[in-house]
Structure 1
Amino acid sequence: MGNPSLILVGWMVAAMIGVGVAVAWAWPFWMVIVLGAGLVGVAVLLTRDMWDRTRVNREDVMTGVRHLEQLSEIEGGAGILEPDALGGHIQRLVENVKTRMTSLEDERTKIIAIMENLVEGVVAFDPKGKVLFTNSSAHRILGLDAHAIQGRSLWEIIRNQELAGLVEGCQELAWHERRQAEVELHPPVSMVLEVYALPFPFSNQKKGSVLVLHDVTQLRRLEQVRTEFVENVSHELRTPMTAIVGYLETLVDEPSLETPNNRKFVQVAHQHAVRLSRLVEDLRSLSEIESGKVVLRCESVPLCEVALDVCEMFHHQLSKKNLQISNMIGVEFRAWVDRDRLIQILVNLVDNAIKYTSAGGTISFQAIPFGDERISLQVKDTGQGIPSTDLPRITERFYRVDRARSRAEGGTGLGLSIVKHLLQLLDGKLRIQSELGKGTTVEVVLPVSPPNLSTNIL
């Protein structure tokens, strides 16, 4: 069966042409004009009805309507509309609409085919939050029947407050913005989803919303297994490594090591044992953070005092390498953090700065306000800098810009990864700027008050 609207228009066009011919032969001239104008009106109404139903291009249809109206005008008593001409123009208009409808249907078929073959689930909602479209992956991920969810709200389909909040939040987003969240679904569907929510133009300046669902359940399970494995291994290695380092430190200073070679062998063994011990400790710290076992004791911490404590910790290393460190943080600057974890962050940053800054260089602490409710704590050095191509990856586990130098300096490749994860726990942000040959600035952005009193502007 064809489209009912198209069939109706076809019959009306045929009737109009037949009546026009009869009128041209037998009816008075003024009746031809009246009937022609009436038929034009019917054709226009039917055409506009088809446009409303199929959403064809408004400009194309209106151009055709204006053309018909121009044909029906009588200027100065001349230019009478002939019935055959009227029928021809209406027929061309109908054919144009049919062509546009066919083209739009082809495009719609292509888009649906693409959507149906996506691994990610896609759910589209109208401005009222009712389901407009879902693809096969969405049915599989949510465990729902396609016909049972059309025209229903998300809350009716699956009672998850986070997902419902993402859909509602799309109304507040600009067209180019999107929101991202990791959502855990519980029985009957138990999985972890990475969800992206974004708006799309609907009609009359209203916004629809789209959810893109990516199933990361297996990935999170593998990460959990890896974290538990690293945690167990580092725990088992920690005690023997402490003993090995202790015995080697005793042997290094042992007077009975008469030959230089013997002392050198012990020193090399001690250096590698210390590096391995640091690696075990960093792995333990990282696995502890990732597993969520870190207990935070946040308070209002004076940043100047913390920076002074860190400077004292590195006094020997700074003197040995002839580096200058300065604390330019004002006494008025404070942050809402766990003091011990902030010290751990700064120790990692200063340790990196010392490793990659040549003798005679400088390292400095600075702090400046960042918006109304945050503070920016900066660690600057005059070191070798980081290539721009490496900046996006330097917080990855075991990633090193200069592998040979990092190993020689005793680096584990986990320092910045630990910093990044700790800042996520502290509601902070990490920003790094660097220029080759001139140095690096690592910026730690922290809240100045508890989360329920501060506004997250990042």
Structure 2
Amino acid sequence: MRYRLFWKFLLPYFVLAASAAFCLAWVCGNQLQASLLQQLAIRLNGADLVVAAGLVEDFDRSTDAKLQSRVERVAAATGTRITIIRADGTVLADSSEQVPELPNQLRNVELLRAQNVGFGTDIRFDETQGRIFYAARRIGPPDGLRGFVRTSVPMSTIDEEVSNFRVSIGLWSGILGLVGFCIAAWVSQRVSSPIGELTKAADVAAREGSGIRLPNSGGGDELSRLQQALRRMDEAQAEIISGLKDENQSLKQRGERSAAVLEGMTEGVLAVDPAERILLTNAASVRMLDLPPGDLLGRPLWEVVRNNSIQKVAQSALNGEPSATQEIEMSKQSKIVALRAGRLPGTPCPGVAIVLHDVTELRRLERLRNEFVSNVHHELKTPLAVISACVETILDGAKDNPNDLERFLQRVSDQTDRLSNLIGDLLRLARIESGLDVFDMAKLDVAKLVEDCVREHSEVASAKDVRLEIIPSVDAVRVEVDREGMRTILDNLVDNAINYTPCGGRVWLRWLSENGEAHIEVRDSGIGIPEEHLARVFERFHRVDAARSRAAGGTGLGLAIVKHLVQVFRGRIEVASVVDEGSTFTVHLPQA
């Protein structure tokens, strides 16, 4: 930059100086030439007067020899060429040429001018002498013209003087121009060098953000004031940049926290601009709406979301309609998603934010709750109806018949026990689900737990002619559980196996250790569970054979209690079954 600025100073100066020198030499040379020609014309006019004064009286009486002699004498004295010309243009005498060889001169410009005004000049080119200056004077009045006296001088002397003058002007102009060039170079250097330093400092500041380092220059000129202004500007810029860095860091942190919050949200967030192009998504929204992978920002909503309901919700919010929650069913994902759209703050509206909630589990729980309430109502209604009917029958007269009274009272007792068991199971299940049940966790031997369970159920199994067996494990297996809770698990599983195994059937229990887990199996050769019921056997009040279940005294809550207790003990339960071949319930618990 410094060199470009340097030549920007010097080149215009050089062109201006050269043009000025050329114009000066040309104009002054022309003026000098005009002055010399004027002086020469005066001198030649004087010579013409001298010659004409001696010829006026005896011009016609003079002989050619006498005229020639006088012309040569005056020409030698004046250093000019003198020619005497008759009025008709015939040359009478000439100081340099032979008269017979000279042509008629009447058409020459200087003679025509002299004929009109008395004196005339002209410059013509001669092949031998170059340019020649001619001056002619009329002899006699215009109406009595007798002839002309013409003097001439070569222009070489004048041209040489003019040329020397122009050379001198060019030389002195060159010297002065060189001096001016040096001065201009020095001034340009003085100006461009600080500007170059300012430019370098500004480049460094641009790369590093701030810190214009400039040498201190004395004086109070414009460049010094510019340096001071740049320092002040840099200080202010440094403060601004520092503030912007802090603000940018703060914004970055807030943005990272916001992004982390968005990505960690279970709710989906989808924002679109007024043209329905996507501004923001999070992982939950991508998962809920099954959006395509890749960068979705800037893409139209209709292109990535195939559900028209979402587009209608966004359009309604953009149109300023009050926000409302709408549920849509995502058939591909088998999910129910609740949408709520709201306009983003700002004028004009910068877009719409759509919040998505996966309410699939909530709706499933609501369905289960409704089913639970319906089942509880049904389960309670049946024994209450039986008790009420028995009491009415007794009051109507059965009390007078001892046999009928005993039979009806026994039914009331059975239904009361059933209600008690049902309410007990409900309370136990509620306490387990709410986490209010307190468990005394201990490391227990699985073999001992199984043996106690088999011993307690052996009489019931024998009464039904069902063989209850244990397949012992070669390894000692221990689990960390609550004794009563584990007993409830085994009791429910064994009860179900005995109840749903026909006479002559078999129920056996075994346990083993594998990959740090204890596996406890309760297997029977009973009626089995149809495949369509396997996924729901652990739901409350779900029965495969409702009539047989009620006849066996079951509440329909046993397997639900088993599932929740296994989960409390950080385990899981699985079921496998084949109709008419039997079922296998396997409890997996961490080994202690």
Larger radius of gyration: 2
Higher relative contact order (CA 8 A, sep 6+): 1
